[in-house]
Amino acid sequence: VVHTAIVQIPAINEMRDRAYQVNVLGTHNISEIVKETSSVSGLILCGSWHVFGEREYETTVDVGFGYRPDKVEERAKLYVISKMIQEGIVRFYNRMVEDKTYGVIRLGTVLGKDMPEKTAANIFVTNGLQGKPITPYKHTMHRPMLYVAIDDVCEIFRLLIDNVTQRDRGDEASNDHIFNLFYHEPITILELAETVKEAIILHTQGMVVPRLEIIDTGLPSLFNEDEKRTLSVDISDTLDFFGIDELESPKDTISEIVRKKSQRMNLDQSEESRRRKS
């Protein structure tokens, strides 16, 4: 069972009772069902890198870095606490249930063609290709982010599912089947915006040159320009376990997203033009 259910931001702050039912009780319920179902080998939880916090990193982020819900924006705190509790439940079951495997893959922010509409990357790409400004917020533009490509996510989940269903339960992984899955180099929101702009210029052959416009909401800056330098990441355990050399870089993923989306937009325009002529 791959457990992905989560009430996310902003809904988690608007429907807290429902969020608790889904995020906490739901995780316990599905873990218990896995325990009681003989035909199921285990459960894999979609975790999140946000459990590490978003600022003031002092040591390398690895599997054992720890949970820091107080190092995130206030609006994200309940989400991070939810992911921590989900992890706790799953990890407890992994130690409690002898004949099943319960694991966690902590994902970076996922980049891909079907990423949620309200993510910064999707907003930047969509607006930029339409010739609208790309608009990072001033108070969060230096936030370091950890990203992962959807293709890498699918491959790692496939490999872990194979591992869970085919191995002997007694053959425990040294990390209790907890994996960090994100590209090893963080990029800031501002760098993401610049990457999207460069990709749009490249793949539209200069026909679209979106403007980069920093939005000042009046909120105090949460991240300084040096914040990224404090974030060092070690995902060697994940790469070694799955026999993978490296993950796709966010810049390459963004470039491919922009290329495909620009092609679809051009195709749509061509079809519309043909319809008008006919």
Q: What is the dihedral of CA 17, 21, 22, 23, to 10 degrees?
A: 80
In a domain, 221, yes or no: yes
d(CA 115, CA 105): 18
The mean pLDDT of 13-20, rounded to a whole number, is: 95
In a domain, 211, yes or no: yes
Name the least confident of 30-34, 158-162, 191-195: 158-162
> Is the pLDDT score of 15 beyond 50?
yes
Rg (CA), the chain: 21
Count of all residues that appear for the chain in the document = 278
64-115 pLDDT tens trace: 999 999 998 898 999 999 999 999 999 999 999 988 999 999 999 999 988 8
The mean pLDDT of 192-202, rounded to a whole number, is: 96
In a domain, 277, yes or no: no
Q: What percent of the chain stands above pLDDT 90?
A: 72
* Closest C-alpha to 42, from 164, 211, 172, 168: 164
The mean pLDDT of 26-33, rounded to a whole number, is: 97
> Is the pLDDT score of 258 beyond 90?
yes
CATH code of 203's domain: 3.40.50.720
Q: What is the DSSP letter of 55?
A: S
In a domain, 272, yes or no: no
The mean pLDDT of 205-230, rounded to a whole number, is: 90
Instruction: Tell me how many domains the chain contains.
Output: 1
> Is the pLDDT score of 7 beyond 70?
yes
On average, the pLDDT of the chain sits at: 89
pLDDT of residue 272: 45
Q: Which two tokens stand for residue 260?
A: 């495909």
In a domain, 273, yes or no: no
- DSSP for 7-33, written as a single string: --TTHHHH-HHHHIIIIIIHHHHHHHH
d(CA 259, CA 241): 32
Range of the domain at 227: 2-267
